[in-house]
Amino acid sequence: METVKVSRGKHFLKKGDRLKGLYIILQGSVRAVLENDEFDMEAGSIIGMLESLSGTYMCNYVANTDCVLYAFPYNSTEDYKKIFEDFLQSQNFSNSTANLKSAFTPIGMRKPVVNSNILFVGDAVGACDPLTLSGLRYALDSGEFCAKSIAKSKINIYKNYIKKLKFKFAITRLMQKVFYIKWVMCITFNLFCRCFGKFVSKIFNNFFVNKK
């Protein structure tokens, strides 16, 4: 594991290249460029996580700003697709994995309602915590508020929920930028988690995950 500095504008990973490592963005912003799309990856994002299934990078990665990355060598020879196929067979499922795809965790809230009668929930509306990448709870909650909004024919029920979620995610996005600074991570994991593990766990579960 090593720290890597990438200068602004540098095209440091190319689509189709063999996967040589995973990179955590500690500081700065990286643009992932696909054939028909592109998006920004901020501090805390992991480059190469999804590509580990295919063994090659699926995007061209360009530094938007001067960046600091943590590089983790990746030499796994595990065939995760085969492992998944074996699991399906063991459960007597006959589904084909030929068209199995992966996607990045969506960060950033999107428009919740389109044409006044199409409501997006879960990943489709970007209901994912920027700090923890937790999305299951928000997928369930957004589905619940969406159902209530439809049942009562009051679209504002769902819109108000999304507004509150946007506010919360704005706060956790700011916390993300601080938390992934190297010295903050060192203090958090080497001091607080070791010495005050139960207290840290209680705060995390009740505030971020709401698991009581």
What is the CATH topology of the domain spanning 2-73? Jelly Rolls (2.60.120)
In order along its 212 residues, the chain shows pLDDT tens digits of 688 899 999 999 998 888 888 888 888 999 988 877 788 888 878 888 777 667 788 889 999 999 999 888 776 556 667 777 777 787 777 777 777 766 667 777 888 888 778 899 998 888 888 887 778 888 999 999 999 999 999 999 999 999 999 998 888 888 888 877 777 777 776 666 667 667 766 666 666 555 54
Q: Give the whole-angstrom CA distance, residue 33 versus residue 64.
A: 12
DSSP per-residue string spanning 53-86: GTTB--SEEEESS-EEEEEEE------HHHHHHH
pTM across the whole model: 0.49
Tell me what pLDDT residue 189 has: 65
Contacts of 136 (CB under 8 A, 6+ apart): none
Q: Is 133 left (phi over 0), alpha (psi -120 to 50) or beta?
A: left
* CA 195 to mean position of chain CA atoms: 28
Tell me what pLDDT residue 150 has: 92
Q: Domain segments of the chain: what residues?
A: 2-73, 113-209
Classify 35 as helix, strand or coil: coil
